[in-house]
Amino acid sequence: MSVFGNRPSEAQLTEFRERVRAHIAEHAPEFEAREGHRAPETPDQEARLRSWFAGLFEAGFAGADWPVEHGGRADHHPLHDRVVSEEILRARAPRPVDQVNLAAHVILHFGSDEQKRTLLPPIRRSEHVWCQLLSEPDAGSDIAAVRSRGARQDDGSWLIDGHKIWITDGHWADMGLALIRTDPASTRHHGLSVFAVPLSVDGVEVRPIRTIGDAIEVNEVFLTGVRVAAESLIGEEGQGWSIIMAGLDFERFGIGGNVILLELLIDDLVTVARHARIDGAPALESDDIRQQVAELSVEVEVAKAFIDDHVERLTSGDEQPGDGSIAKLSFAETYHRVAAYGAALAASVTAVGAADQDVRRAKQRLRECWLWSRAYTISGGSSEMMRNILAKRRLHLPSR
């Protein structure tokens, strides 16, 4: 018995998919989404992205899993989310910002009624893009090593000081979900709290970091004497670790759900191998290349099979501990292997003939995916951290 209500029939899902495709065809920005270049590069691109994201909310394709009183759909089922994700990815249209989804779910699950009333509507209108103010210098993926401090003032407000790094979308975000140490005597997972921080307030400085792909996707954020209202605290003081972990579990499965990106990578890899040439012959006629493409295609199918199985168990209420981490790990590592091989192949072959333009575009996408692929092995928790989580939660191995 599904915990999400009646499962849509195949006919209903097909009709829903057709509506999603029609919406994308009519409203998606004309520029193609590029891996490692997802943030807007001009004011015009930003305006178009915000309009596109707001339209997805308005049409009921984004935020459909929210409570109805906050804009969700009464007939929502997780399979609808998967259809939307698949169609956006297959159309190579810009996909909604992951950090916005995480912030929304944190607010919905842990925010007060007043926070829901004030913070959720601007998300649906795309007036507020959110970022995660979690990672800090010298801490790697160990977000429990938070040193940013928050001190409660006599009037109930909070004064925040700290330094965050690798903040995706920080340079164009309006709000930040910040993990701050509010108990100066605490260590590790204890004494942490979560705040909603407007990035326009005094004391916030954002310094963009240019990536190896020559794009600005991540940033440093300095918090110097930042004063936020008492109402900016989300959940209870000291509850920060459990709040962020709940949000990251949602994000990790979202990353794993992008398995369609793996299919697109294979499509580009096959395009290059089939139409480009090595020593005058099609690259795919090489036994070594054909074998490698086949093996990577099998890896992609394995990742897809897990996602399919997990979605079925999720909708039936049979989700297992660590499933989100497995999804994230499976996607990220497979993506990196396919992209790395594709980029190497793209660099060694020559495009010729009628398919020349298609091959050039496929080669460019493979290079961009390879340059961005390491980010997937870190974002939402590094692959090493995912393995640690699985060792503890799934295999119940003892900690040292």
Q: Which residues are catalytic?
A: 251
Q: Which residue, among 206, 75, 187, 184, has the nearest Cα to 131 in the 3D structure?
A: 206
Nearest CA among 38, 159, 153 for reference residue 96: 38
DSSP label of 8: P
Residue with tokens 């004030």: 118
What does the DSSP assignment read for 294-314?
HHHHHHHHHHHHHHHHHHHHH
- CA 385 → CA 200, 306, 322, 329, distances in Å? 32, 20, 12, 10
* Contacts of residue 281, Cβ cutoff 8 Å, sequence gap at least 6: none
Closest CA to 83 of 31, 29, 10: 10
The span from the CA of 360 to the CA of 346, in Å, is: 9
Running DSSP on this structure, what letter comes out for residue 231?
A: G
Contacts of residue 119, Cβ cutoff 8 Å, sequence gap at least 6:
107, 111, 128, 175, 196
What is the spatial distance between Cα 304 and Cα 316, in angstroms, rounded to a whole number? 19
Question: Residue 206 carries which side chain, given as an amino acid letter?
Answer: V
Rounded distance between C-alpha atoms, residue 131 and residue 251, angstroms: 13
